[in-house]
Amino acid sequence: MDTTELRKLQAPLKDRYRETPESAVVTMKSEAELSDVGVSCKVQTGQALVEAGLHPAAGGDGTLACSGDMLLDALVACAGVTLRAVATSLGVDVRGGTIRAEGDLDFRGTLGVDKLAPVGFRAVRLAFDLDTDADAEQLATLEKLTERYCVVFQTLKNATEMSTTFG
């Protein structure tokens, strides 16, 4: 897809969202079913059924997906798609590359070993290794706009409002 194709694809959406801002608000959903085996649940992603369980540092055996890893997977996926869209929109040729996310999680918090230890990632790092001839200014623009428009990055960075209900 080139710049013209992307703009043609997105133009009617942008026009609609400008004219009726409420049409831009989409409720995305995910659902998991508790498994009857061990400490796990099944999550239907867009393309596959994933069984999630405990990370080995919390007592898992490493055979099931860890939700922390899945969060980092969502981050690199969103960052990669956003980077591609931004690069395409700007006409910056990115032939390929790798996006890596890593996060530091103190399992003392998750396991209730230390009430002062945080539950959740205390730091997340996102790194891009791109195959491109873009100059330093173009790379800085790609970085700035990828951070700005990546939904998962912004959600993690700005700690969105959360709530729970039990029925």
Encode pLDDT of 148-157 as tens digits: 999 999 999 9
Instruction: Tell me which of 22-31, 62-71, 112-121, 158-167 is least confident.
Output: 22-31
Q: Quote the CA–CA distance of 145 and 132 in Å, as a whole number.
A: 17
User: 116 by DSSP, 3-state: which?
Assistant: coil
Work out the mean pLDDT of the chain and round it to a whole number: 92
At the topology level, CATH places domain 3-157 in GMP Synthetase; Chain A, domain 3 (3.30.300)
Average pLDDT over residues 124-131: 94
Instruction: Tell me which of 30-34, 51-55, 81-85, 96-100 is least confident.
Output: 30-34
DSSP state of 33: E
Residue 42 clears pLDDT 90, i.e. is over it: no
User: For residue 108, what are the CA distances in angstroms to 58, 90, 105, 117?
Assistant: 9, 45, 9, 6
Q: Quote the CA–CA distance of 65 and 50 in Å, as a whole number.
A: 7
pLDDT score recorded for residue 34: 74
pLDDT score recorded for residue 125: 94
The residues, any chain, with a CB within 8 Å of residue 118's CB and separated by 6 or more, are 106, 109
Task: Answer whether 141's CB lies under 8 Å from 90's CB.
Answer: yes
Q: Quote the CA–CA distance of 145 and 107 in Å, as a whole number.
A: 33
User: Phi/psi of residue 158, each to 5°?
Assistant: -105, 10
Question: What is the β-pairing status of strands 65-66 and 49-53?
Answer: parallel
Of all helices (H) and strands (E), which one includes residue 108? helix 107-110
pLDDT score recorded for residue 44: 84
Q: Which of 46, 51, 88, 44 has its CA nearest to residue 67?
A: 51
Label residue 159 by pLDDT band (50, 70, 90). Answer: confident
Domain boundaries, the chain: 3-157
Label residue 126 by pLDDT band (50, 70, 90). Answer: very high
pLDDT, one tens digit per residue, over 2-25 is: 889 999 999 999 999 999 999 888
Q: Which of 97, 101, 98 has its CA nearest to residue 68?
A: 101
pTM over 0.75: yes
Task: Answer whether 77's CB lies under 8 Å from 150's CB.
Answer: no
